[in-house]
């Protein structure tokens, strides 16, 4: 149980508590009044203060999915199927026809027909946002059986699955730019240049006469032929001598001191003048006034009071929440790890931002908990996961504070449940350190599985810029995926399906398991999985041909995830992102706490789904592969 | 003129305060209904004193006659055309007859609405929430001169130094009430001091959002005496707008006022001998 990084007393407490597992399983109440609360805590490895829950019921390791990525894992919880059933294998999939990556969770379809008048384009049929996850969500099944459900911020649930349940979309919900979150950092630093960075933009500005006008970018304006990005101005007035500024957003004025966060501000993006506008919300952080002006603007989130895209069922639910608890982050992953990676937010500034996210999440949770009577309440907490990426093994005290905050939420859920009903607290995966970044495409190059147009064309250029497909047998994309360059599937693919591809998979697996870190001699890859042999179901068309499970301390580099081929095979991870879980699944199991004693010794994530349905007397749906845990 | 308006504002302010205190400051809807009925009655009184009911009545009868004429002789285009012309003419005549009482009613009604808005239209600063104080200067800001300093009464903290916005000739501060406060802000400039009332947290209060320098502005912002300085146009506290809760809806006070005063005027017009 003890893991490097957490204080020793936590490990001792956990061991001691395991010895005190109490047998407090109770018979469920009458079907009509059954109550269940499920708290999904992404990335949680162990909570220090769940002793009462543990004494009352059980604590177990919960096997995670292969690969142990949140969209994959939570899709498994949602559907009770493994990736072979729900079809989600990574944050990104690739289109075999182009080998280009796209979001695995949702896609947007443009309107089919439109009418063009002058510079304007009027859609005649509606566009569509569609979830790419297959299978039915467990709360859809519950709702059909008349069980009321409230599902708050479930990952991989954008757009939210249609049902009578109240649900708010979670991870996978885009910002107003249509990305997973793009911050903007305005700076007057003459050394800086306007440029894109992963997850954001750095924009060089000139302050003139103590004033600067900044464009806040919103959605692409599909009502105009040339499809420009809609924008709304943010005017900043700097005091001539004090470290303080006034920000004007439309009619709203905000005064901020250096080092302060604003509350949520509403931006109205004009689409058709006087007729149609899109509303978004954002926060700003005034990093500096002088000598250099520096302002961080959060990704512009979908406004929950006036959402441009479907983020809740029923659709007024997000408005109800916003009016009850105030505006809140709606983008799927709200903690801005991209900004801290880019050096735009310092460590402390990131912690402050992630605290804002957590406070909002706790307010949403408190609101739903107060209104919970019967049925199912699911609430997802992202804070431990996102903070672990930045704090793991290096900032234990700060991480423990977040664990404690979640623990207090668990305590409130226990109080609410009293003696009847079931309380589950689960995480989809654990965590490990990320010390060495593996450039898997470069390894493929060295092993002659991949070829470049010119040998010297290694570098950080993404999307296989210099790959010679006529000589390439395999390529890596995403955080764990490895694909064959298969004839008949990939254009110009050279590996024939059948014995040739089977042999290539075998050779790749063998070589990967023999892969040693040239600097330390340690094994880099712990496990290699073949989705077609491993998974159940028929949703295999997006499956990688092999899934690479790295050893502890290793992970695919950021460049690998987007198809770059840098010069080195492995490099030290020097970024702020120091913890991860996209490794071999055996190293990063999740955890499951319950106020009931478990029957299964080795529960899996898909068992949770069947367990929830059983709680309400409902049989598993077709395709579900789990067993009841209790 | 300025001091006369100040005295008038003071008198109306005191009367309004006495009036709303009869109902308790926390129950504004209760006090708004009677004042709306009184306003309706007051309008009728003005109409009785300044209108010509005989002419109004005869004009109304002629309007009805023309409408009847159009209905009865619908197949006679010449008659209908003549009736239409007469209808237009008598409409204008009716408006002219209403203009005189309307003009007499306008000034007292504007004064009344401005003063009522101080109580019903704005709420004191909410405790714990940030608010803003703005000073608008008459001349462009001289950045070589130190910024003024804002002193808040106990219970309110000033969270930022002054922000001088050169393009707007304004200086602003962010403050935050920590508890119920009824006091005065003190602004210290290099050339002197200014004061401004501030209210926070109390359930309702007769507020003065803006303290002004000019007499013309005093008509629209009657809550406090004019500023003594020529350097400052006005000082403002951004009180949040208030609404009244009626039958589950949040309504602007003017909606309730207009509906109630109109209904009461229609009901009471016979008693006042007013023809509308």
Write the DSSP assignment of A379-392 as a string of letters: EEE-HHHHHHHHHT
* Domain range A9-88+133-174+309-431+588-615, CATH class: alpha beta
Nearest residue of chain A to residue B146 (CA atoms): A241
Give, in degrees to the nearest 5, the angle at Cα B218 between B216 and B219. 75
Distance from CA of A235 to the nearest CA of B (A): 11
Closest alpha carbon within chain B to A244: B163
pLDDT value at residue B26: 67
Token match 């209905």: residue?
Answer: B71
Residue burial A3-30, b: 16+ Cβ < 10 Å; e: rest: eebbeeebbebbeebeeebeeebeebee
Interchain proximity A209–B167, CB inside 8 Å: yes
Most B CBs within 10 Å: which of A239, A260, A261, A262, as the mutation test of the B interface? A239
CB-based contact B163 A210, cutoff 8 Å: no
Residues B10, B222: Cα–Cα separation, whole Å: 8
B174, A255: Cβ pair inside 8 Å?
yes
The answer to whether B172 contacts A255, with C-beta atoms less than 8 Å apart, is yes
Report chain A's C-alpha Rg in angstroms.
25
Residue by residue, what is the 3-state secondary structure of A181-214?
A: CCEEEEECCCCCCCEEECCEEEEECCCECCEEEE
Interface test with B, best of A253, A262, A286 (most B CBs within 10 A): A253
Give the residue from chain A lying closest to B129, CA to CA.
A263
Beta-bridge partners for A472: none
Sequence-ordered strand ranges (E) for A65-193: 92-95, 100-103, 106-109, 114-117, 120-123, 128-131, 149-154, 166-169, 183-187
pLDDT for residue A383 is more than 90: yes
- pLDDT mean over A185-203: 96
What is the reported pLDDT for A3? 39
Q: Which helix (H) or strand (E) holds B54?
A: helix B53-72
DSSP one-letter code for A110? -
The pLDDT score that the predictor gives to residue A607 is 97
Contacts of A208 (CB under 8 A, 6+ apart): none
Q: Residue A9 has what pLDDT? A: 40
- Residue A322 sits at φ, ψ, to 5 deg, of -65, -40
Judging contacts by C-beta atoms under 8 Å, the chain B residues touching residue A209 are: 166-167
Please state, in angstroms and as integers, the Cα–Cα distance from residue A558 to each residue in A168, A333, A436, A462, following that order: 30, 17, 11, 10
Of B143, B159, B163, the CB nearest to A245: B163
Give A241's contacts in chain B (Cβ within 8 Å): 143, 147
Q: Which one of B130, B163, B168 has the shortest CB-CB distance to A239?
A: B163
d(CA B142, CA B169): 10
As a whole number of angstroms, the distance between CA A304 and CA A363 comes to: 15
Interchain CB distance below 8 Å, A240 and B164? yes
Interface residues from chain B to A (CB-CB < 8 Å): 130, 132, 143, 147, 159-168, 172-174
Mean pLDDT of chain A: 91
pLDDT of A46 reads 53
Give the tens place of pLDDT for each residue, A303-329: 999 999 999 999 999 999 999 999 999
Low-confidence ranges of chain B (pLDDT < 50): none
- A11 — pLDDT class (breaks 50, 70, 90): very low
Q: Tell me what pLDDT residue A25 has.
A: 30
Enter the pTM of the model.
0.87
3-state SS track over A442-486? HHHHHCCCCCECCCCCCECCCCCCCECHHHCCEEEECCCEEEECE
Among A182, A199, A184, A283, smallest CA distance to A576 is for: A199
Q: Residue A29's pLDDT band (boundaries 50, 70, 90)?
A: very low
DSSP state of A148: -
Check: CB of residue A341 under 8 Å from CB of residue A181: no
CA–CA min distance A325, chain B (Å): 15
Contacts of residue A243 in chain B, CB cutoff 8 Å?
161
**Among A467, A565, A562, A580, residue whose Cα is nearest residue A102:** A562
Token pair belonging to A554? 């290793």
Q: How far does B126 lie from chain A, in Å, by closest CA?
A: 16
B77-120 and B28-50 helices cross at what angle (nearest 10)? 140
* Any B CB within 8 A of A244 CB: yes
CB atoms A255 and B161 under 8 Å: no
Q: Which of A210, A245, A255 is facing B166, going by the closest CB pair?
A: A210
pLDDT at A116 over 90: no
Return the pLDDT at A32. Answer: 60
A213: contact with B, CB 8 A cutoff: no
Q: Rounded to an integer, what distance in angstroms lies between the CA atom of residue B162 and that of residue B148?
A: 7
Residue of chain A minimizing CA distance to B175:
A255
Q: Which of chain B's residues have a Cβ under 8 Å away from the Cβ of A245?
A: 163
- Cβ of B159 within 8 Å of Cβ of A245? The answer is no
Under an 8 A CB cutoff, do B172 and A246 touch? yes
Q: ∠ CA(B86), CA(B88), CA(B91), 5° rounding? A: 105
Identify which of A211, A242, A256 has the shortest CB distance to residue B162. Answer: A242
Mean local confidence (pLDDT), A150-163: 96
Looking at beta carbons, which residues of chain A come within 8 Å of B172?
246, 253, 255
pLDDT at A23 (0 to 100): 29
A259 vs B contacts (CB less than 8 Å): none
Question: Does pLDDT of A582 surpass 80?
Answer: yes
Pair of tokens at residue B265: 């005027």
Q: Which residues contact A118 (CB under 8 A, 6 or more apart)?
A: none
* Angstrom distances, CA of residue B195 to CA of A442, B154, B202, B260: 71, 15, 20, 38
Residue A408 structure tokens: 């207090």
- Of the candidates B130, B147, B165, which has its C-beta nearest A246's C-beta? B165
With an 8 Å Cβ cutoff, is A251 touching chain B? no
Q: How many inter-chain contacts (A to B, CB under 8 Å) are there?
A: 47
Residue B6, classified by CB atoms within 10 Å of its CB into exposed (0-12), middle (13-18) or buried (19+), is middle
On chain A, the residues whose CB falls within 8 A of the CB of B133 are none
Taking an 8 Å cut-off on Cβ atoms, the answer to whether B147 and A241 are in contact is: yes
CB atoms within 10 A of CB B214: 14
Among A67-71, A550-554, B3-7, B150-154, the minimum mean pLDDT is found in B3-7
- Show me where the domains of chain A are located: 9-88+133-174+309-431+588-615, 183-302, 435-586
Under 8 Å between Cβ of A432 and A583: yes
Q: What percentage of chain A has pLDDT greater than the value 70?
A: 94
Compute the distance between CA of residue B254 and CA of residue B257 in angstroms, rounded to an integer.
5
- CA distance linking residue A259 with residue A442, whole number of Å: 42
Select from B159, B160, B163 the Cβ nearest to the Cβ of A237. Answer: B163
pLDDT of A22 > 70? The answer is no
Kindly determine whether residue A244 and residue B132, on different chains, have CB atoms separated by under 8 Å.
Answer: no
Residue of B nearest to A237 (CA): B165
DSSP tag of B227: P
Signed CA dihedral, A474, A475, A481, A484: sign only: negative
Yes or no: say if B166 and A211 are a contact pair by the CB < 8 Å rule.
Answer: yes
Using CB atoms, pick whichever of B132, B161, B166 lies closest to residue A244. B161
Cβ neighbours for A415, distance < 8 A, ≥ 6 positions apart? none
| Residues A296, A344 contacting (CB under 8 angstroms) | yes
């Amino acid at each position: 149980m003890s893991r490097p990084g957490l204080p020793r007393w936590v490990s001792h407490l956990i061991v001691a508590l395991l010895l005190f597992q109490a047998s407090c399983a109770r018979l469920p109440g009458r079907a009509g009044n059954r109550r269940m609360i499920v708290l999904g805590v992404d990335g949680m490895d162990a909570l220090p203060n769940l002793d009462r829950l543990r004494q009352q019921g059980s604590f177990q390791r919960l096997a995670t999915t292969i690969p142990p990525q949140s969209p994959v894992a939570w899709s498994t919880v949602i559907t009770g199927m493994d990736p072979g059933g729900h079809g989600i294998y990574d944050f990104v999939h690739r289109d075999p026809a182009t080998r280009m990556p796209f979001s695995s969770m949702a896609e947007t379809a443009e309107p089919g027909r439109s009418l063009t008048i002058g510079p304007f384009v009027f859609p005649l049929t509606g566009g569509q946002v569609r979830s790419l996850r297959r299978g039915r969500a467990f709360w859809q099944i519950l709702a059909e059986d008349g069980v009321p459900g409230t599902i708050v911020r479930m990952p991989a649930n954008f757009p939210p699955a249609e049902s009578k349940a109240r649900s708010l979309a979670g991870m996978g919900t885009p910002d107003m730019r249509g990305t997973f979150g793009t911050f903007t950092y305005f700076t007057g630093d003459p050394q800086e240049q306007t440029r894109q960075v992963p997850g954001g933009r750095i924009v060089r500005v000139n302050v003139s006469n103590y004033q600067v006008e900044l464009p806040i970018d919103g959605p692409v304006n599909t009502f105009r032929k040339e499809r420009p990005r809609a924008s709304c101005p943010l005017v900043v007035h700097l005091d001539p001598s004090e470290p303080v500024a006034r920000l004007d957003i439309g009619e709203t004025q905000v005064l901020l001191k250096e080092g302060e966060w604003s509350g949520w501000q509403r931006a109205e993006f004009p689409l058709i003048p006087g007729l149609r506008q899109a509303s978004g919300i954002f926060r700003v952080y005034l990093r500096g006034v002088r000598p250099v002006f520096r302002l961080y603007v959060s990704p512009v989130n979908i406004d929950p009071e006036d959402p441009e895209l479907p983020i809740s069922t029923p659709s007024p639910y997000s408005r109800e929440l916003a009016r009850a608890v105030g505006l809140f982050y709606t983008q799927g992953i709200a903690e801005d790890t991209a900004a801290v990676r880019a050096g735009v937010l310092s460590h402390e500034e990131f912690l402050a931002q992630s605290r804002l996210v957590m406070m909002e999440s706790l307010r949403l949770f408190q609101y739903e908990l107060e209104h919970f009577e019967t049925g199912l309440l699911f609430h997802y907490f992202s804070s431990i996961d996102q903070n672990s990426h930045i704090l793991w093994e290096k900032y234990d005290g700060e991480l423990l504070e977040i664990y404690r905050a979640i623990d207090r939420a668990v305590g409130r859920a226990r109080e609410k449940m009293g003696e009847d009903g079931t309380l589950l607290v689960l995480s989809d995966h654990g965590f490990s350190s990320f010390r060495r970044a593996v450039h898997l495409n470069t390894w493929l190059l060295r092993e002659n599985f991949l070829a470049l147009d010119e040998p010297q064309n290694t570098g950080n250029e993404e999307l296989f810029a210099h790959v010679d497909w006529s000589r390439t047998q395999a390529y890596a994309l995403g955080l764990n995926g490895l694909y064959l360059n298969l004839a008949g599937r990939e254009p110009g693919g050279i590996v024939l399906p059948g014995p040739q591809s089977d042999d290539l998979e075998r050779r790749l697996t063998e070589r990967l398991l023999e892969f040693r870190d040239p600097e330390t001699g340690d094994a880099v890859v712990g496990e290699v999985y073949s989705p077609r042999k491993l998974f159940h179901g028929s949703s295999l068309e997006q499956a990688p041909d092999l899934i690479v499970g790295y050893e502890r301390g290793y992970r695919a580099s950021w460049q690998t995830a987007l198809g770059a081929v840098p010069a080195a095979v492995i490099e030290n991870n020097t970024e702020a992102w120091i913890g991860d879980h996209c490794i071999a699944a055996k190293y990063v199991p999740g955890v499951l706490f319950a106020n009931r004693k478990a029957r299964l010794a080795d529960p899996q994530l898909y068992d949770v789904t069947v367990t929830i349905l059983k709680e309400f007397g409902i049989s598993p749906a077709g395709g579900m592969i789990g067993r009841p845990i209790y | 003129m300025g001091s006369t308006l100040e005295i008038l504002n003071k008198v109306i302010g005191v009367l309004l305060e006495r009036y709303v205190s009869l109902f308790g400051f926390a129950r504004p809807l209760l006090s708004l209904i009677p004042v709306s009925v009184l306003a309706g009655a007051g309008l009728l009184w003005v109409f009785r004193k300044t209108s010509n009911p005989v002419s109004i009545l005869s004009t109304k009868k002629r309007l009805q006659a023309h409408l009847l004429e159009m209905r009865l002789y619908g197949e006679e285009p010449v008659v209908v055309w003549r009736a239409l012309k007469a209808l237009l003419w008598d409409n204008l005549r009716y408006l002219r007859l209403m203009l005189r009482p309307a003009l007499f009613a306008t000034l007292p009604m504007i004064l009344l609405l401005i003063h009522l808005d101080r109580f019903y239209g704005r709420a004191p600063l909410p405790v714990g929430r940030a608010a803003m104080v703005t000073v608008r200067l008459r001349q462009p800001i001289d950045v070589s001169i130190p910024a003024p300093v804002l002193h808040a009464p106990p219970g309110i903290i000033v969270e930022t130094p002054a922000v001088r916005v050169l393009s707007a000739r304004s200086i602003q501060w962010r403050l935050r009430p920590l508890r119920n406060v009824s006091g005065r802000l003190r602004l210290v400039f290099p050339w002197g001091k200014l004061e401004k009332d501030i209210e926070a947290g109390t359930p309702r209060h007769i507020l003065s959002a803006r303290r002004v320098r000019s007499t013309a502005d005093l008509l629209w912002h009657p809550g406090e005496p004019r500023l003594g300085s020529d350097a400052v146009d006005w000082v403002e506290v951004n009180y949040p707008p208030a609404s009244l809760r009626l039958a589950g809806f949040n309504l602007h006070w003017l909606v309730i006022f207009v509906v109630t005063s109109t209904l009461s005027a229609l009901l009471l017009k016979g008693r006042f001998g007013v023809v509308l």
